[in-house]
């Protein structure tokens, strides 16, 4: 499973620190709830792309539960699950395109995230309703997506990712894994 942690550093600093990042200790297993300290279980690397020009290779720490033997990956909150681009970059390219028609990446990639953002609108709306937002949202899908992305920015990306995926990690796991496989094939 994935566990999100705010390392309080940006992606470049996180990449530079590698295995020396301040990885959290977990005293309770998030999977079986056993009160045992999870043990270090190696590292792996993945890409984090901030802009077209800057790609970082980041180190992810894995922990294992001594009871249920399942593993947890400690993901920095600047990474979206199963995506190689950071949430910053996704919000930035979509808002730039929708608001000023500037295209900051390939059309193919922008359309990919556009479809993704439209597809997530209902879930994002539900998330904000549950968080206590009662403002009326625009009817037009693009206007609505712009509004929602700005609400995510206002809430703070780290907070959004942690709460949103915290809420839905179980029910979305199957779908996300499927989607992740598709992304891996097309990119
Ligand atoms: Zn466990």
Worst-scoring range by mean pLDDT, 12-26, 75-89, 158-172?
Answer: 158-172
Residues 6+ apart with CB under 8 A from 13: none
Strand order in the sheet with 71-76: 2-5, 71-76, 55-64, 39-49
Condensed to tens digits (0 to 9), the pLDDT of residues 62-81 reads 999 999 999 999 988 777 65
Ligand 1 centre from 69 Cα, in Å? Answer: 6
Which neighbouring-strand residues pair with 48? 56
Q: Which of 171, 26, 175, 2 is nearest to 77 (CA)?
A: 2
Residues with CB under 5 A from ligand 1 (ion): 29, 31-32, 34, 65, 67-68
Interval 86-131: pLDDT, tens:
777 778 888 888 888 777 667 777 888 888 888 888 888 888 888 8
Residue 39's pLDDT band (cuts 50, 70, 90) = very high
pTM of the model: 0.56
Backbone dihedral angles phi then psi of residue 75, each to the nearest 5 degrees = -100, 135
């Amino acid at each position: 499973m994935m566990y999100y942690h705010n390392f309080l550093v940006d992606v470049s600093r996180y990449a530079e620190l590698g295995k020396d990042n301040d990885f959290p200790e977990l005293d309770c297993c998030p999977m079986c709830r056993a009160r045992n300290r999870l043990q270090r279980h190696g590292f792996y690397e993945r890409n984090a792309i901030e802009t077209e020009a800057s790609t970082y290779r980041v180190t992810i720490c894995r922990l294992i539960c001594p009871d249920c033997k399942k593993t947890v990956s400690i993901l920095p909150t600047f990474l979206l699950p199963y995506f190689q681009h950071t949430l910053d970059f996704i919000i930035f390219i979509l808002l730039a395109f929708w608001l000023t028609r500037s295209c900051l990446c390939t059309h193919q990639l922008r359309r990919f995230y556009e479809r993704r953002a439209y597809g997530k609108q209902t879930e994002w709306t539900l998330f904000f309703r549950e968080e206590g937002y009662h403002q009326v949202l625009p009817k037009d899908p693009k206007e609505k997506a712009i509004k929602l992305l700005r609400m995510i920015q206002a809430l703070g990306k780290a907070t959004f990712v942690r709460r949103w995926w915290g809420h839905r990690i179980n029910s979305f796991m199957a779908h996300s894994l499927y989607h992740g496989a598709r992304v891996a094939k097309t990119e």
